[in-house]
Structure 1
């Protein structure tokens, strides 16, 4: 019976997977359309707009001049990025069940006015500049909007309006009619419910039930394949609109992924090297102690004629030292164990775990390390990645303190919070960072350690805090040294 129960649950869950696959395809399709339109706009902005010879196209009344006359008295209509996007939207929206629109909260052309739903999303993008897009499904409509950000080429027209690079100018919405696709999923779900009922009734005929299940599975896969083919056909229609631009997007995405993989690999290697160095240092003293104990056992056994109690006592000491060594390697292994999902964790506890890894190195170099935290402070994120960031910053501070032979070296960690954010401030008294390089330390491959550094630790640290935990990592010099501040929102913002 348990076998049939598991089969029934599997069939039921497959509908959810099929629905997720459909939504992923729709989201990717909308994102591809948005990227193509943005690339077209960038091309137009690069040349400060283009002129089109036409006696039929009505010039944009919001542009000045909106047309010129050629030497042959031909009308040359000026088309800027917004006007070009509007033309493309009008053409694309003629397709059945499809709508493409450019809109903004700060209108110039009233024809681009946002509806109530688009207005909410535009307000959301302005309040959350790190959010690139949003999608939703409502009334059998897949609605997607991507944020249009001001880039350098855009300032040719928009600088006079008070915009700067990174500001939200507006958005492009993409809408699909998905009623047919979800109707097919409902039909598939109905068939699965009938199959589950049949499995319960035919539990005794297990072999026959298994055959029926496999048959239904193949039939469902064929239907899903047809559904995917239908979606791919629609995507291909849009791909034909501008194959060259789509190919360029794919090539740039591939290059970016290769760079990111390289950075991740180099970061792992750097962290691994640091970890091995700490393990070697952590083990050196216990190993020496074990060696001395065993030597003592040897000579005492010879001198005292194999005194059993003495030998047992010395062996107990040796086992305690070996146990310490075993616990040390477990501490390292747990520290570097990756977190695949976000979770709530105690900021103070993670800092203390990091200190435990570096404790011997700091003490051997007479570096005073203190943590100031008045109460338990809980954050939502990746504890292992956060610990890696703290480890990078403290390790860098330790290296500078040793290199500069600082008098009474110390490192302090202050954990505090306000109404909106939680902060972790890490300071040292090594004299600070040179003004000419302080703005470069978060850049990839920038290092002051020459052959001992990769220049990637602080870059990866900033990526972790800003992209993975929606926070900020900044640095400044105080009266006695450098001060790194990690700020993390108390909770993730929702739409």
Structure 2
């Protein structure tokens, strides 16, 4: 026994220590891995934040410079406009002074010649003051004297604009204004038409227009040179620089200054400048590429941002090497890893300390646990003895209860047989009551059916008597009257046969036509419906065959139609009518019978098929007609009989499987 206890303590110590060792070491490894993951995540977040920060800096530098360029362009254009305006105003004032001085002293042609002479002398390097009249004749053109006196009113520039016509319209309508035209620049004919900015002013005394213009390329080139000098002077961290390129791909700055870079691709086949142009035309954006091996450039991955200078067809950009960010990330990760080594060493010491404490605790607990187990074993032994005694007593009690249960089962079976017999007798009585009630209804229908034939027979007999009294009775007349009576009596006999078939006790199940049973049922009660002025609307589909007892199916139809008749009469419905419709639905024959009596109260519609439930007075209804109808359709024919409220009244739906 002592040897087993020693083995138990040893086994308990080893297994418990192993389990705790696995848990603590696993937790320690988990903490270490989580610590390393957090370091990586922190460094990665720092890297992402660094990239976003660099992107913000690049965008800020480029956008700021682009805005400055746009402002400079606007200012330079405004300066040019003011220059043009000043020179035209000077020429205008001189011309007006001459005109005022000579008016009244000289004739108009002499005044014109004096003003023209003054305007012809106003030249500025390669530009000059020009003058035209309202008809489009050239009055003064110092550098092109051969065109003076010629009419160019319909002359258009390379863009399709009317040069002189538009100038005259601006001067006469607005007094003065600016105009953009495209002329061939003297001495640079090979370049084709160049954009020229013109200011024109109306000289009303002589019906002239005075103007002055300058080609924008020379003025613009000066501004662009200043911008490029400023751009190349901009630097930022890690030897960063700004660069500029035209939309045609011509590089304006280092590192590929003077080269067309439109078709240059990086090692991955990416068209660098084409994508930068695309981003610029979209309003600005970033691309990543591998820098080509230009002089002074590192062939490494680079992130660049480009922004547009739309009025010049340029983009300005700046970039940063992603390898610099990656190096910063690696350095940051190394620094964090070094700083976390102390934490990991602390975790390791903690794990070893916990394991030592756990081993000591397990050793102490193993002895106490052995004592608890011994006491528990003793208690189990005592409980087993008590359980054996209880088992013997329980077996005796079970035997006694089993005998009592057998006696109760026998008594219960007898009571079940008695209740089944009572229920069968109750169903028989209910069925008999239903048959009697139906027979009562049918007798009333017979009376209605026979009333008209009996009246006809009575009329024929009276007619025979009158014929005898008047001497008109002969064999032919008597034979005709007998034929009429025989036909009428035959019709009455046919009615008796129909009612006899309706109550035939035959229970043979056969295939029968649904439409035929509807017509037969209506023949039995049509006189009653007609006498009560109830209109019957019948809509029959193609002939559908079902299997069952035809007489029972007909009883269901008659019972539902009679119920509809009773409700219509009880509620005194104006223009009462019953609608009967046959059809097919989901492979089954469906007959729907509806009235226009307003429907069944929602509070009782669920009870309408319960036995002995009726809304009629006791003398008029038994409450078993619809109950037996549901039993016939659902119990005998395995179909369904349901009721619902339609638009005008209650609707009964009979559904039976097709053959």
**Which structure has the greater CA radius of gyration?**
2
TM-score, normalised to structure 1, is 0.50
TM-score, normalised to structure 2, is 0.38
